[in-house]
């Protein structure tokens, strides 16, 4: 049973509630969900009727939880659970990639692979120290020695470490050496082990049993949660079927099923699922497309010599190719593969509690810019809305916010020139970029009949982007507004049930409104790229792009001379745009994005040539 508590519940009422439940032989678990305090009552004597609880002081609502799993059910907690492992969050907008060998074989092997997978975007390292092998004669793992190696990997690389725990006797060692404990498929229903990890402080990756139903799997997660540890990540790793071409059958349909049934995050392990190297990448790509929060991939520097699971282990370069594909796929489903994840989180964590960890964006909460800020920073920084782009630049410049997130171009409508001009005017740095898919939704008050909609609010470009869909609303008045999120806020504030807005599903959620139609844009390839600005660089790990502005002399071939430098040094130019120079009519600046770190030592010659061939040159950012 789920009880919603009154905002004004007194500590005495709250204590009385607990004792009443305890007297009934039940226990309570309190959480905050969508801003409300709710408790879950569990135990064999939970009463069936909400009325039995509604009379209790401090209780405003009661509803039964219909599923056998309670604490981990979506009915109890409607918000997604986000699990923090060091600076990494599983269950947020960023795909978490866990990679490493099946087993830790030696210090050298683990360290070599860890450095490789980190280079290609993994943020957690996996490696077994206690291996549950089918044969007693196979390699059983390095045990405590393996755990010590994992701890050293964490220390040297900054990657959190994940390893399997096979017995309650290992609990103390796991607490000491690792960041996440894995319960293997063979132990999914080892209830004593589940009770043990339920009392531990580390997050748990709970693998699905070889032949377990989703229901059984969730009940195992419930065991862990009932023990007090709700940081459970569900890992689909393939189930036994009659099919011999793959080691197991990867049940990707479990992802949407679980998303409905539970708030826990999901990690997909395509390595154990397929058992064959060449099948791993396609299934990993599909997993992300199906909504997985994380991936766990076996990678080995010398798979032929691996002591376990060599045939399914990717070579590091194959793993690198896979993460590049994930980078492209993730935004389609509203997520990101962030190659700078660790460095960025480290910098933000290092800002200290006294510093403002804030990022300014334009518009209202729920704006696409807000989404972009969350996609880039996760929950590490607070996103704050501002009214104009100039407000953002000024706030970053005077230090009242640490970062700004500004749109610079859209795949359908082109550049946002105002921001290019502001980049020219202010002396700030672009320290990162993030691209998100723009998916428009038609939003109304709950239960409004679309036939009753007579006015639709949206920014002018949104109407253009949704032209086909809007044909069915030919009778409605189209009211252009400044930003999508303000349209959504307006219909919320006005209470007007004849109005609809075009905006993000996130805005509908924030303002408690209803999405009438999803993805109503004509062209689904609608992406906006945002630049992240700050006063100074903050130790980015991998610089792969440079944005610069330059002006050339007004003589024939001047632009060509600059282009020639890029061509001769094989530097890929991904954007080139001209803008009038402020205050100098008919004179132009060029904005260029290059796929290179122009300040790296190997390119000093390029910089020298650029300076020689341009009248003005400024580096806007490296990221
Ligand atoms: C493993 O992750 O190395 C492992 C043994 O996996 P599973 O429990 O899924 O077989
Ligand atoms: Mn393995």
Closest CA to 103 of 306, 399, 330: 306
Q: Mean pLDDT in the chain? A: 95
Instruction: Please check the confidence at residue 541 and state whether its pLDDT lies above 70.
Output: no
Ligand nearest to the CA of 238: 1
Please give the DSSP secondary-structure letter assigned to residue 181. E
pLDDT one-digit tens code per residue, 372-386: 999 999 888 999 999
Average confidence (pLDDT) over 488-500:
95
Share of the chain above pLDDT 70, in %: 99
Instruction: Please check the confidence at residue 354 and state whether its pLDDT lies above 70.
Output: no
Handedness of CA 573, 579, 581, 585 (dihedral sign): positive
pLDDT one-digit tens code per residue, 41-95: 999 899 999 999 999 999 999 999 999 999 999 999 999 999 999 999 999 999 9
Atom of ligand 1 nearest to the CA of 131: 5
Atom of ligand 1 nearest to the CA of 187: 8
pLDDT at residue 540, as a whole number: 60
CATH homologous superfamily of 341-438+527-534 equals: Periplasmic binding protein-like II (3.40.190.10)
When mean pLDDT is compared across 100-114, 210-224, 330-344, the lowest value belongs to: 330-344
Where in the chain are the domains? 2-63, 90-132+140-333, 341-438+527-534, 441-518, 546-622
Average confidence (pLDDT) over 440-468:
94
489 Ramachandran zone, left/alpha/beta (phi>0; psi -120 to 50): alpha
Is any atom of ligand 1 closer than 6 Å to the C-beta of 126?
no
pLDDT at residue 361, as a whole number: 96
Is 169 in a helix, a strand, or coil?
A: helix
Q: Encoding tokens for residue 286?
A: 């599909």
Q: How far is the CA of 334 from the centre of ligand 2 (A)?
A: 30
Ligand 1 pocket mutation, candidates 164, 204, 249, 306, criterion most atoms within 8 A of CB:
164
Is any atom of ligand 1 closer than 6 Å to the C-beta of 100?
no
Residue 389 CA to residue 610 CA, distance in Å, equals 30
What class does CATH assign to 441-518? alpha beta
pLDDT at residue 301, as a whole number: 98
pLDDT one-digit tens code per residue, 602-617: 899 999 999 999 999 9
Ligand 1 pocket mutation, candidates 237, 309, 312, criterion most atoms within 8 A of CB:
237
* Same fold yes or no, 341-438+527-534 and 441-518: yes
Residue 203 CA to residue 124 CA, distance in Å, equals 13
Contacts of 557 (CB under 8 A, 6+ apart): none
What class does CATH assign to 2-63? alpha beta
Residues written for the chain: 623
Average confidence (pLDDT) over 441-462:
94
pLDDT at residue 554, as a whole number: 83
Is any atom of ligand 1 closer than 6 Å to the C-beta of 533?
no
Query: Atom 3 (ligand 1): residue with closest C-alpha?
Result: 102
Q: How far is the CA of 185 from the centre of ligand 1 (A)?
A: 6
CATH architecture of 546-622: 2-Layer Sandwich (3.30)
pLDDT at residue 353, as a whole number: 66
Residue 98 CA to residue 96 CA, distance in Å, equals 6
pLDDT at residue 351, as a whole number: 72
- The answer regarding whether domain 90-132+140-333 maps to CATH 3.20.20.70 reads yes
Ligand 1 pocket mutation, candidates 110, 182, 250, 300, criterion most atoms within 8 A of CB:
182
Our measurement of the distance from residue 174's CA atom to the centroid of its chain's CA atoms, rounded to an integer in Å, reads: 27
Q: Encoding tokens for residue 165?
A: 């725990």
pLDDT at residue 26, as a whole number: 95
Is any atom of ligand 1 closer than 6 Å to the C-beta of 237?
yes
pLDDT one-digit tens code per residue, 275-298: 999 999 999 999 999 999 999 999
Residue 405 CA to residue 573 CA, distance in Å, equals 23
pLDDT one-digit tens code per residue, 131-179: 999 999 999 999 999 999 999 999 999 999 999 999 999 999 999 999 9
Q: How far is the CA of 275 from the centre of ligand 2 (A)?
A: 9
Q: How far is the CA of 126 from the centre of ligand 2 (A)?
A: 10
Share of the chain above pLDDT 90, in %: 89
Closest CA to 407 of 379, 382, 376: 376
Closest CA to 101 of 275, 276, 297, 294: 297
Q: How far is the CA of 171 from the centre of ligand 2 (A)?
A: 21
Diameter of the chain measured on Cα atoms: 90
More confident residue, 238 or 356: 238
Axis-axis angle for helices 558-568, 604-613 (nearest 10): 170
Q: Encoding tokens for residue 525?
A: 């390839």
Is any atom of ligand 1 closer than 6 Å to the C-beta of 198?
no
Q: How far is the CA of 94 from the centre of ligand 1 (A)?
A: 24
Average confidence (pLDDT) over 583-588:
83
Q: How far is the CA of 154 from the centre of ligand 2 (A)?
A: 20
Average confidence (pLDDT) over 454-479:
94
pLDDT at residue 521, as a whole number: 95
Axis-axis angle for helices 368-377, 484-494 (nearest 10): 120
Is any atom of ligand 1 closer than 6 Å to the C-beta of 344?
no
Is any atom of ligand 1 closer than 6 Å to the C-beta of 102?
yes
Query: Atom 9 (ligand 1): residue with closest C-alpha?
Result: 185
Contacts of 198 (CB under 8 A, 6+ apart): 223, 224, 225, 226, 227, 228, 229
Is any atom of ligand 1 closer than 6 Å to the C-beta of 185?
yes
Compute the half-sphere exposure of residue 258: CA atoms within 13 Å on the CB side of its CA: 31
Atom of ligand 1 nearest to the CA of 182: 2
Ligand nearest to the CA of 312: 2
Residue 367 CA to residue 353 CA, distance in Å, equals 27
Closest CA to 193 of 214, 211, 209: 209
For every residue of 444-498, DSSP letters joined together read ESTT--GGG--EEEE-HHHHHHTHHHHGGGTTSEEEE-S-HHHHHHHHHHH--TT
Is any atom of ligand 1 closer than 6 Å to the C-beta of 300?
no
pLDDT at residue 581, as a whole number: 83
What is the band of 586 on the pLDDT scale with cuts at 50, 70, 90? confident
363 Ramachandran zone, left/alpha/beta (phi>0; psi -120 to 50): left
Query: Atom 1 (ligand 1): residue with closest C-alpha?
Result: 102
Residue 266 CA to residue 412 CA, distance in Å, equals 33
Closest CA to 97 of 292, 359, 283, 305: 292
Instruction: Please check the confidence at residue 356 and state whether its pLDDT lies above 80.
Output: no
Query: Atom 5 (ligand 1): residue with closest C-alpha?
Result: 184
What is the band of 355 on the pLDDT scale with cuts at 50, 70, 90? low
């Amino acid at each position: 049973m789920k009880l919603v508590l009154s905002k004004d519940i007194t500590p005495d009422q709250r204590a009385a509630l607990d004792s009443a439940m305890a007297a009934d032989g039940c226990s309570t678990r309190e959480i905050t969900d969508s801003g409300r305090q709710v408790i879950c009552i569990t135990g064999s004597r939970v009463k069936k009727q909400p009325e039995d609880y509604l009379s209790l002081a401090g209780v405003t609502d009661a509803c039964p939880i219909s599923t056998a799993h309670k604490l981990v059910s979506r009915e109890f907690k409607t918000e997604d659970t986000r699990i923090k492992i060091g600076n990494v969050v599983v269950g947020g907008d960023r795909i978490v990639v866990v990679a490493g060998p099946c087993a830790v074989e030696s210090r050298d092997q683990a360290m070599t692979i860890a450095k490789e997978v980190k280079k290609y975007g993994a943020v957690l390292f996996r490696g077994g120290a206690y291996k549950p092998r089918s044969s007693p004669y196979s390699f059983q793992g390095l045990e405590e020695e393996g755990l010590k190696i994992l701890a050293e990997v964490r220390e040297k690389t900054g990657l959190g470490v994940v390893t399997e725990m096979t017995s309650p006797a290992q609990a103390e060692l796991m607490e000491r050496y690792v960041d996440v404990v894995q319960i293997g498929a063979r132990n999914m229903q080892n209830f004593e082990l589940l009770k043990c990890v339920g009392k531990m402080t580390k997050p748990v990756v709970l693998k699905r049993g070889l032949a377990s139903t989703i229901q059984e799997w969730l009940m195992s997660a419930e065991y862990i949660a009932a023990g007090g540890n709700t940081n459970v990540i569900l890992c689909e790793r393939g189930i036994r079927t009659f099919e011999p071409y793959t080691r197991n059958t990867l049940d990707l349909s479990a992802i949407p099923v679980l998303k409905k049934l539970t708030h826990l995050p999901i990690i997909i392990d395509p390595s154990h699922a397929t058992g064959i190297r060449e099948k791993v990448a396609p299934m990993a790509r599909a997993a992300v497309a199906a909504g997985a929060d994380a991936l766990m991939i076996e990678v080995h520097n010398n798979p032929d010599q691996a002591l376990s699971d060599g045939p399914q282990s990717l070579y590091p370069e194959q793993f690198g190719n896979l993460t590049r594909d994930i980078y492209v796929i993730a935004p389609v489903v509203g997520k990101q593969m962030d190659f700078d994840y660790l460095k960025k989180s480290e910098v933000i964590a290092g800002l200290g509690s006294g510093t403002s960890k804030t990022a300014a964006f334009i518009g209202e909460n729920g704006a696409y810019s807000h989404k972009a800020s969350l996609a880039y920073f996760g929950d590490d920084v607070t996103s704050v809305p501002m009214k104009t782009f100039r407000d953002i630049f000024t706030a970053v410049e005077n230090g009242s916010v640490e970062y700004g997130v500004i749109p610079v171009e859209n795949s359908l409508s082109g550049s946002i020139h105002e921001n290019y001009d502001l980049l020219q005017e202010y002396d700030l740095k672009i320290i990162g970029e993030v691209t998100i898919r723009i998916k428009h939704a038609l939003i109304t008050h709950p239960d409004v009949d679309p036939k009753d909609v007579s006015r639709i609010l949206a920014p002018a470009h949104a109407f253009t982007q949704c032209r086909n869909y809007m044909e069915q609303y030919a009778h409605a008045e189209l009211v252009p507004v400044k930003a999508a999120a303000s349209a959504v806020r307006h219909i919320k504030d006005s209470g007007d049930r004849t109005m609809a807005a075009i905006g993000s599903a996130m805005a509908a959620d924030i303002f408690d409104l209803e999405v009438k139609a999803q993805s109503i844009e004509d062209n689904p390839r609608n992406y906006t790229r945002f630049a992240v600005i700050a006063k100074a660089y903050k130790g980015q790990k991998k610089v792969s792009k440079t944005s610069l502005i330059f002006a050339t002399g007004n003589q024939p071939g001047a632009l060509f001379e600059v282009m020639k430098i890029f061509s001769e040094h094989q530097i890929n130019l991904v954007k080139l745009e001209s803008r009038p120079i402020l205050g100098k009519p008919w004179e132009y600046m060029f904005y260029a994005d290059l796929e290179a770190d122009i300040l790296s030592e190997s390119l000093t010659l390029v910089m020298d040539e650029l300076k020689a061939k341009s009248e003005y040159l400024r580096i806007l950012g490296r990221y």
